[in-house]
Amino acid sequence: MSLVRLKDIAKITMGNAPPGNSYNEDGNGVPLIAGAADFGAAQPEPKKFTTGGTRFSKEDDIIMCIRATIGDLNWSDKEYCLGRGVAGISVDEKLADKNYVYFALKERHEYLNSLGTGSTFRQIRKEVIENCEIILPTLKKQKEIANIFRDYYSLRGKRISAKMQLEETVKATFVDLFGDPVKNTREWQKKKIGEVSESRLGKMLDKKKQTGNNSKKYLRNANVQWGRFDLSNLYEMDFDEKDQVEFELRKGDLLVCEGGEVGRCAVWNNNIEDCYFQKALHRVRVDLNLLEPMYLRYLLEFYASFGGFDGIVTQATIAHLTGVKLKALEIPIPPIELQRKFSEYVESITHILEMQKKSFEDIAYLEGSLMAKFLKGES
């Protein structure tokens, strides 16, 4: 087992930008991989073609992103034109197994990313890729290790697919029960959100008034994703006793993004104790006799995806959903019994997803163990 530089076992081809007038979406020429935006889960998903390419990958080459999301990898399943955001890596299979090299480069992702330079777009030079070192056991051992990783990523892909299918099933069930909420195809009675809930924006951050005497965790826009909260990076600011009453979070509160991806929301389930919210978020507290938080959460996702916010979102440089506009937004109100039935269904699916989450954590631990044992040379 030895350390080798990538240039000793592979040819690296840096991409470059074809002439602008050579681009087309009609299938003329060679499909263009300009950067990570053209990457798929395993193979490229190009959006444009070019008749003016000069740098190409061939089938079974590795394509690496060298700008922005440095180190991301795809397999070249056919010939592609390499744009300036990517590089092609052609492994000499007399010296190394291409599948092993692919997994070894995945292990070097953070290292490569750390070497990126540039202010607007961070990127790595050819020399960085060429001099990237990987552990290289015997060719036979490489193939054995590659097979282990192939089985691992196959399992991981199946788990991800199962999770996505469950999430899509919930959305399909929503439509089965309630119809198209934007067009209101079931002709449910409509009410303004302000008539069936109380809503308000959170506290504005004023750095000059921060003393640290009443420092509390709070949610901001970035912490609220569709149907979940990212609590890995919570900020803190002062909330005095009055603020704590005014900006408290209760189980069942819906937190809705005011700007950016308007309407993005999740239902609070007392995920952590003593947490509040910032002005970038609306807290919607529904009348439970008329509205279920989980129904409203999915309805707003449909609104965001299919034009339900058209005409009410304030657009400057960033889209905004003001408190007044949110309260005035008319939504269909199906029978509360039907909404509760949907909430119970979502709860059962959420339980399954939570079990899957534990499985994903186990898989992530397995990935780390495999990387350490086979690709980092740790015992």
Share of the chain above pLDDT 70, in %: 92
What are residue 84's phi and psi, to 5 degrees? Answer: -75, -5
Tell me: pLDDT of 254 over 60: yes
Separation of alpha carbons 121 and 83, rounded Å: 15
Nearest CA to 331 out of 196, 172, 177 is that of 196
The pLDDT confidence band at residue 379, using thresholds 50, 70 and 90, is very low
pLDDT tens for 294-331 read 999 999 999 999 999 987 876 655 678 999 999 999 99
More confident residue, 363 or 174: 174
The pLDDT of residue 205 is: 83
CB 51 within 8 A of CB 36: no
DSSP reduced 3-state for 13: strand
Name the pTM for this structure.
0.65
Pick from 70, 53, 49, 44: which is nearest to 16 by CA?
53
Enumerate domains of the chain plus CATH numbers: 2-136 (3.90.220.20), 189-333 (3.90.220.20)
> pLDDT per residue over 106-162, tens digit each?
889 989 999 999 877 889 999 999 999 998 988 998 998 888 888 877 777 777 788
Number of Cβ within a 10 Å radius of residue 317 = 5
